[in-house]
Amino acid sequence: MSTAVDAIRKHARLFAAYFRFNLAAVMEYRASFLMQVFGMAINNASFIFFWKIVYLRVPAVAGYEFRDVMFLWALSAAAFGVAHVCFGNCGSLGRVIIQGELDPYLLQPKDVYFNVICSKTIVSAWGDTAYGIILYLLVYGFAPGRFALFLGFVALGGLLIASARFAAETLTFFLGNASAISRLLTEFMISFSLYPEKIFGNSVRWMMYSLAPAGFVVFVPHRIYRSLTLASLPLLLVADVVYLFLGYMLFRAGLKRYESGNLVVTRV
């Protein structure tokens, strides 16, 4: 038991160190960092204009009012942002494998999955995170309890997005190059999580709760948030744990197939 706690503590320290160093690295080019952050926030904000015009013409879309759609946008953007700020390599594993850059991680005394996924940050994802949180506060205001609930959903959604993307990238171990599958999964998840759930038919909704888990990233949280009943919360937690576990096991299975290219690289 104490070994497990010890391992968790060590990995938490590793995560904190990566976070600190990644942040320091992006802040080295402060102007570029701020430009990407604001650029991404403005990029996302333009869609508010689209929805505002739509809602000038229709009162509700599939039972969603303007505020509900903004909740989807805020949560999707913030969760996507957190996934790529904290686990920036979740969408790059395929490239890492193909270029033989996995070797340095194999030599380090830390869990390879964890070590790879959190060793990088995506600069523009800071903009997504900031946009999501600001949008939420603008639309729903600041009520500590509800805001904490929203942040909890952001954290769970971020874990799920990172884990799903990383799992798709892991297929590179088996298929040689899974970048197209990974990209498609990402587009699926993003596109499906930004529109009211009920505009889609049953087959698509089935997919949103299995292969591309947009349902667990935004729709279940939205239902919990709207009704303020926590009955679905265990379902959300179980879904997160299952996806993380399956993704981890897939990675372990794939890692056995990895062949080193003996590439000598320096990680700066």
Which chain residues interact with other proteins by CB under 8 A?
A: 32, 35, 39, 42-43, 46, 49-50, 53-54, 56-58, 60-62, 179-180, 183-184, 187-188, 191-192, 195-196, 198-201, 204
Q: H/E/C letters for each residue in the chain?
A: CHHHHHHHHHHHHHHHHHHHHHHHHHHCCHHHHHHHHHHHHHHHHHHHHHHHHHHHHCCCECCECHHHHHHHHHHHHHHHHHHHHHCHHHHCHHHHHHCCCCHHHHHCCCCHHHHHHCCCCCHHHHHHHHHHHHHHHHHHCCCHHHHHHHHHHHHHHHHHHHHHHHHHHHCHHHHCCCHHHHHHHHHHHHHHHCCCHHHCCHHHHHHHCCCCCHHHHHHHHHHHHHHCCHHHHHHHHHHHHHHHHHHHHHHHHHHCCCCCCCCCCCCC
Least separation in angstroms between residue 24's CB and other proteins is 21
CB nearer to other proteins: pick between 62 and 230: 62
CB nearer to other proteins: pick between 44 and 129: 44
Least separation in angstroms between residue 60's CB and other proteins is 8
CB nearer to other proteins: pick between 38 and 258: 38
CB nearer to other proteins: pick between 49 and 142: 49
Least separation in angstroms between residue 184's CB and other proteins is 6
CB nearer to other proteins: pick between 43 and 99: 43
Least separation in angstroms between residue 207's CB and other proteins is 11
Least separation in angstroms between residue 142's CB and other proteins is 28
